[in-house]
A and B are shown apart, each in its own frame.
Chain A
Amino acid sequence: MLQAAISTSTNILERTGAAAGRYLSHLLDMSTLFLESLRAGLDKRRPGKRMVFDVAMNQILFTGVEAMTIVGVIALLLGAATIIETFSLVPDLGGDPMIGRILVVVVVRELGPIITAFIIIGRSGTAISTEIGYMMVNHEIQALEMMGINPVRYVVFPRIVGMSVAVFCLSFFFTIVALFGGYLVSRFIIQYPFMMFLDDLSRALGFWDVAVSGLKCFFFGIIVAVICCYQGFSVKFSFTEIPQVATRAVVWSIYACFAVNIIITAFFYI
């Protein structure tokens, strides 16, 4: 019995160790991909600057501009929901500067960046991993290589740039719309005057709240782009691998964004 128990524990430890090793290896590979993309992308002597720029612009258009509607609607609803919840918990809050403070802490610092990241993961992250996966199966990546076009410079780098810029900008858009949503509900429930709302908000909102929120989104953009590109490139032979890598890209991106969110929050606010 004891031997069996020891054997089982050893097996669990071995499997856990092997899984940890695999994830560490993926982490190293993704870091290498990121560094290589910076090296290849920022090298001014290499050709194709105009085309790399165009791909980055297209990524900003797809990830940033075309996502504004869904980001805007969710931000408006989230800002409103935050204030409704606040009033339900503290019924006599009316007119209190707490409204501004709560909106800043909940929306600007935490939910704004992370929800923007989730929308981008679901919308653009899956698109990137699927597109690259398809390019792998269709031998398009090999064709690029044979044309002397570095796929890391032409495919990965502009997506990282496009995603980070787009998510960074979207986070500000999200924050502004969410704050407006919070104000609308406050106005409806307690006839909160707009100037008072602005005054409370300006007192609650510091430079670092905005800067940290932007910083988080910038990192989220990089992380999601690197993970999704990496997963796309892991497709080898079959179209059936593509939905699998897309799912893995989403799950890994969510984990990574949460982890980075906690690290940045802890670093700046503890």
Chain B
Amino acid sequence: MAVKIELKDLSFAYEGGEDIVRSASFSVSPGEVLAVVAPVGAGKTTLLKLCAGLLPPTGGSLLVDGKNFWELSAGGQLELRHRMGFSFQEAALVANMNVFDNLALPLRYYGDLAESEIESSINAWLGRLNLGAAGKSLPAALSSGVRQKVSFIRTALLGRDFLFWDSPTQDADDAFISLLGDEIQEQKKKGVGQLLTTQSRGLLFRSADRVLTLDGGKIGYLGPLKGAGTLAGLPGGRDL
């Protein structure tokens, strides 16, 4: 079942620092792809993590599926997070597990699939991204581009109701960007809401329904790509 995410007057500052996100209010509906565009260090990742309930806001509220996320019990929060997927910019793979075990971790934890099914679905994804040989490697032995691909597979494999893509194309080749675009479109057809930050102009134009810009922690522009005008932080040129 699709999930809607809504921010109401949400603010956030790291301990002792200035506000990184100021009074942000917007929503992402099921089947919609919202791209966050801003220069490096402007708070794109922080905003995504706030939307995923990974960082507690200093003000305002986060509504996930109509429920005020930070008023839920720890169990309720975990249940909602279980319905969302997050592809981390830093990949965030478990360091002491090889690639295969990293991908199998959530599937084994929930025990819904037999080991043979887990194996075949993971191998299919690894094959699709030409990563068959990397299955037994530890994350530290991989390049950042490959780690991001593994993180992408982990997100796509689980098939969640809302997806966060945090700069998944940072160290990516064209083939992977194209595959990522296909996956975003496929998820969109299923009615999955998605929040995206990317360095790929092509992926942005192909995938985003709306764009949001951050200016000094505040939302600068929120609307369709065509009306965005000149955007600081837009990859491959600033003029839309």
Q: Which A residues have a C-beta under 8 Å from some C-beta of B?
A: 36, 47-48, 50-51, 134-135, 138-140, 142-150, 154, 236-237
Contact = CB atoms under 8 A, between A and B. Distances in A.
Contacts of B78: 145, 148, 150
B124 to A, nearest CB: 20
B92 A51 contact: no
13 contacts: A47-B111, A50-B108, A138-B95, A139-B92, A140-B94, A143-B92, A143-B93, A145-B78, A146-B85, A147-B154, A148-B79, A148-B82, A149-B105
B90 A139 contact: yes
A33 to B, nearest CB: 12
B81 interface: yes
Contact of B86 (A36, A47, A134, A146): A146
A146 B111 contact: no
A148 B112 CA distance: 14
Contacts of A148: 78-79, 81-83, 106, 109-110
Contacts of B88: 139, 142-143
Interface of B: 14-15, 49, 52, 54, 74, 78-79, 81-86, 88, 90, 92-95, 105-106, 108-111, 154, 158
A149 B110 CA distance: 9
Given A36-B74, A140-B92, A146 B108 contact: no
A110 B69 CA distance: 49
B11 to A, nearest CB: 19
Contact of B54 (A146, A150, A236): A146
A147 B79 CA distance: 10
B52 A51 contact: no
Contacts of B154: 147
- Binding site of A, secondary structure by majority: helix, strand, loop or mixed? helix
Contacts of A134: 95
Given A36-B74, A139-B88, A142-B49, A48 B93 contact: no
Contacts of A150: 74, 78
A45 to B, nearest CB: 11
A134 B158 CA distance: 25
Contact of B106 (A139, A147, A236): A147
A47 B205 CA distance: 40
A12 to B, nearest CB: 26
Contacts of A145: 54, 78, 81
Contact of B105 (A36, A138, A142, A147): A147
A50 B111 contact: yes
Contacts of B93: 140, 143
Nearest to B49: A142
Given A47-B111, A48-B109, A48-B110, A146 B90 contact: no
A138 B74 CA distance: 22
A144 B81 CA distance: 10
Given A48-B110, A139-B88, 7 more contacts: A140-B93, A142-B86, A143-B92, A145-B81, A146-B81, A148-B82, A236-B15
A135 B81 CA distance: 19
Contacts of A135: 94-95
A155 to B, nearest CB: 10
A48, A134, A145, A236 — most chain B CB neighbours (10 Å): A145
Nearest to B151: A143
